[in-house]
Amino acid sequence: METLSTPLPSLPRYSTSLTVNNDHGHPVFLHIKQCTNSSQLGQIHAQMLRTGLFFDPYSASKLFAASALLPFSSLDYARKVFDQIPKPNLHSWNTLIRVYASSPEPLQGILIFLRMVHESPYYPNKFTFPFVIKAAAEIFSLCVGQALHGLAIKASLGADVFISNSLIHLYLSCGDLDSAYRVFTMIGEKDVVSWNSMITGLAQRGCAEKAFQLFQEMEEEGVKPNDVTMVGVLSACAKKLDLELGRWVCSYIERKGIRVDLTLSNAMLDMYTKCGSLEDAKRLFDMMEEKDIVTWTTMLDGYAKLGEYETAKQVLDTMPRQDIAAWNALISGYEQNGKSKEALSLYHELQQSQIAKPDGITLVSALSACAQLGAMGIGECIHAYVKEQGIKLNCHLTTSLIDMYSKCGDIKKALDVFYSVDRRDVFVWSAMIAGLAMHGQGRDAIDLFSRMQETMIKPNSVTFTNVLCACSHAGLVKEGKTFFSQMEPVYGIRPGVQHYSCMVDILGRAGLLEEAVEFIEKMPILPSDSVWGALLGACQIHGNVELAELACRHLLELDPENNGAYVLLSNVYAKTGKWDGVSRLRKHMRVTGLKKEQGCSRIEVNGVIHEFLAGDNCHPLSKEIYSKLDEIVVRLKSAGYLPNKSHLLQLIEEDEMQEHALNLHSEKIAIAFGLLYVEVSQPIRIIKNLRVCGDCHSVAKLVSRLYTREIILRDRYRFHHFSGGNCSCKDYW
């Protein structure tokens, strides 16, 4: 055990007549100040107990303050010291509340406050309230904060600037901007902390204009901004994506001689990257003498978000110290920009390197990438990792797992995850409703929506999009109309363009095309391309040329580069035998340089994603795949299969060439690959980037019967489940 360099003097016995009321009243106080570790403090504690000095409230408070606040302090030890004090003074109560408010157990700070109010002779003072209000902010308890606010007013301390600043922070932490601003306006003499709290809080919660307005008012009031102020203002510029304003703020900092520390430099860097100026960001980055992990991660994130992935990876590789935040920035950058294969590749690199341990954010991004690719095998490995590591499923992870299993075609496992958790927020419920909807289980989706409301979870805009999609895929017109009509009057959610698109889809799929057009004409907002696209898709299902031409015309006015519109209209022409229309569209696309989006199908085998394009022969196993495809065609024909050539965009006159073109569709190549390399006991899971055509649907259905295989095919719009020649999906061609 370590000892004091100077032996402790023999301390006199405490008597009731002795009152120690200043730091120089006893040599023990000097020794307390000189302590450098907990062992030395323990020796003093022991001697104070032996001499009786500990039972003087003032002396005990000095020892307790040291045990709670010194750099080597231990909260557990401090609490034991406090509990030994017969009659703690107000300073000791305040100190204990203070240390708990800043600890991982802020709730204990509130409980200690309540104990002080009920058990001690003291009433909270101006030092008590900021500490306990901070504890309430840490647990995001608005009701506790409001009660404390009331107590402060009752104690005639409502106007105290320190208490007011604490209340501003509390209300902002709890998302109550109005109350925070009300407290702010009632402060008579606002200090720089008051302004900083309000400006930063507004900026962080998306009120960038108001934050900058307050900054201007601050200047007019003659309050000098500091580095913390400028961090908040720069955050507002980043939220506004206003590069010019951000540059002005940086020049203002230089003109006013405001101290630029690492935090402020990082805020400037963050503003530049979020506003899309990597040139300014790189210049500042190179000038910075001091850099921390935030600096490097901000730079990496900036490159990733602007699609400069190679440079972002170079930044990651050259970082002096890599933490998980840096890996997350690049993984999520890949995933959010549609580069799911690269996201998973980097995730695997992270696991193999063992440089950092994947956290919840990593896993959410990786699961989202699996969902996009249909990589259920990899997704299952991530789920197994979560279980092995004992990672608790929060709502973010739960939502991602449900989404992954749903989009990979295993709705049963999605439901298993859903029912395995105790806590479900609106996003968890919405994800499960979406999963049921995309699998054609509309009634089940609606039942789940009803159960969600029974649990008092309020639906949001996304929930209603998913419910309406469920009605669309299941042909539930009446139910869809009811839900749509209830959105605003019952749930207070104003329908957005996505909801209108869903309603057009519901009406159109059901063949109510005239009603769909009337619905569009009565929309209170301008119809978007998705609305006209929904009508055009319905016209393809039902072969309505006149309305298809109307929808296509409006769609192209909004999005002239939309090649999908030409494809859909061409399919309508082909379906109704108007080959001159198909030819005209093909010529127009050739002249204008528009190309039909190439069909692409993906299939995962043993953790490897295999990708096939229409007519693809680049795969190293192409010879075996096409040999299998030829075998499939022979077996199909022997079973009475006739190709449906109406789904060809090109005007190909020779029957043999038409049939060959159909056979080269990417999903058929993927099916052949799956028959070769996916274990017989496992479903063949295929993800297609475009809508599956009617001929491929028929082929998949027949293949599942002839080869006794389960095939799960996901296209841009929904799932198609084939088993034994049956299809569980309800769709139209």
Q: What is the pLDDT of residues 542-567, one digit of tens each?
A: 999 999 999 999 999 998 888 888 88
Clarify whether residues 641 and 715 are in a common domain: yes
What b-and-e string marks burial along 569-608, b requiring 16 or more CB atoms within 10 Å of the CB? bbbbbbbeeeeebbeebbeebeeeebebeebbbbbbbeee
Nearest-10 Cα torsion for 266, 272, 273, 277? -150
Clarify whether residues 412 and 504 are in a common domain: no
Tens-digit pLDDT profile for residues 272-327: 999 999 999 999 999 999 999 999 999 999 999 888 999 999 999 999 988 899 99
Tens-digit pLDDT profile for residues 356-377: 899 999 999 999 999 999 999 9
**pLDDT for the residue 5:** 42
Clarify whether residues 592 and 611 are in a common domain: no
The average pLDDT across 452-481 equals 95
Give yes or no for residue 533 having a pLDDT over 70: yes
Residue 46: partners with Cβ closer than 8 Å, 6 or more residues away: none
Clarify whether residues 589 and 513 are in a common domain: yes
Clarify whether residues 364 and 339 are in a common domain: yes
Label residue 185 exposed, middle or buried (CB < 10 Å: 0-12, 13-18, 19+): exposed
**pLDDT for the residue 127:** 95
The whole domain housing 360 covers 291-423
Lowest mean pLDDT segment, chosen from 7-21, 494-508, 535-549: 7-21
**pLDDT for the residue 26:** 62
Clarify whether residues 564 and 620 are in a common domain: no
Dist. CA 163–CA 155, nearest whole Å: 12
**pLDDT for the residue 19:** 42
In a domain, 251, yes or no: no
Clarify whether residues 503 and 562 are in a common domain: yes
- Token couple for 389: 């590591």
In a domain, 145, yes or no: no
In a domain, 65, yes or no: no
In a domain, 139, yes or no: no
Clarify whether residues 614 and 553 are in a common domain: no
Give yes or no for residue 454 having a pLDDT over 90: yes
Clarify whether residues 662 and 702 are in a common domain: yes
Tens-digit pLDDT profile for residues 495-513: 999 999 999 999 999 999 9
Taking alpha carbons only, the member of 324, 329, 357 closest to residue 343 is 329
Q: Which of 539, 569, 596 is the last residue of a domain?
A: 596
Q: Which of 448, 479, 510 is the last residue of a domain?
A: 479
Tens-digit pLDDT profile for residues 103-146: 999 999 999 999 999 999 999 999 999 999 999 999 999 999 99
**pLDDT for the residue 539:** 94
Give yes or no for residue 25 having a pLDDT over 80: no
The average pLDDT across 430-444 equals 94
Categorize the per-residue pLDDT at 490 as very low, low, confident or very high, splitting at 50, 70 and 90.
Answer: very high
pTM (2 decimals)?
Answer: 0.77
Alpha helices in 120-226 (DSSP H): 128-138, 142-154, 161-173, 177-186, 192-204, 208-220
Dist. CA 438–CA 468, nearest whole Å: 11
Dist. CA 420–CA 402, nearest whole Å: 11
Categorize the per-residue pLDDT at 663 as very low, low, confident or very high, splitting at 50, 70 and 90.
Answer: low
**pLDDT for the residue 4:** 42
In a domain, 285, yes or no: no
In a domain, 410, yes or no: yes
Clarify whether residues 589 and 672 are in a common domain: no
In a domain, 491, yes or no: no
Dist. CA 663–CA 648, nearest whole Å: 11
Categorize the per-residue pLDDT at 647 as very low, low, confident or very high, splitting at 50, 70 and 90.
Answer: low
Clarify whether residues 356 and 439 are in a common domain: no
Give yes or no for residue 657 having a pLDDT over 70: no
Say how many domains are in the chain.
4
Clarify whether residues 374 and 418 are in a common domain: yes
Lowest mean pLDDT segment, chosen from 373-387, 602-616, 647-661, 719-733: 647-661
**pLDDT for the residue 656:** 47
**pLDDT for the residue 661:** 56
Supply the CATH number for residue 516's domain. Answer: 1.25.40.10
Lowest mean pLDDT segment, chosen from 89-103, 136-150, 312-326, 652-666: 652-666
Categorize the per-residue pLDDT at 727 as very low, low, confident or very high, splitting at 50, 70 and 90.
Answer: low
Q: Which of 566, 596, 626 is the last residue of a domain?
A: 596
Taking alpha carbons only, the member of 634, 648, 639, 638 closest to residue 696 is 648
Nearest-10 Cα torsion for 23, 24, 27, 29? 10
Half-sphere exposure of 115 (CA within 13 A, CB side): 14
Categorize the per-residue pLDDT at 194 as very low, low, confident or very high, splitting at 50, 70 and 90.
Answer: very high
Categorize the per-residue pLDDT at 648 as very low, low, confident or very high, splitting at 50, 70 and 90.
Answer: low
**pLDDT for the residue 149:** 96
Average pLDDT, the chain: 88
Dist. CA 190–CA 312, nearest whole Å: 43
**pLDDT for the residue 13:** 45
Taking alpha carbons only, the member of 579, 668, 590, 586 closest to residue 629 is 668
**pLDDT for the residue 662:** 58
Dist. CA 603–CA 516, nearest whole Å: 37
Give yes or no for residue 6 having a pLDDT over 50: no
In a domain, 364, yes or no: yes
Categorize the per-residue pLDDT at 521 as very low, low, confident or very high, splitting at 50, 70 and 90.
Answer: very high
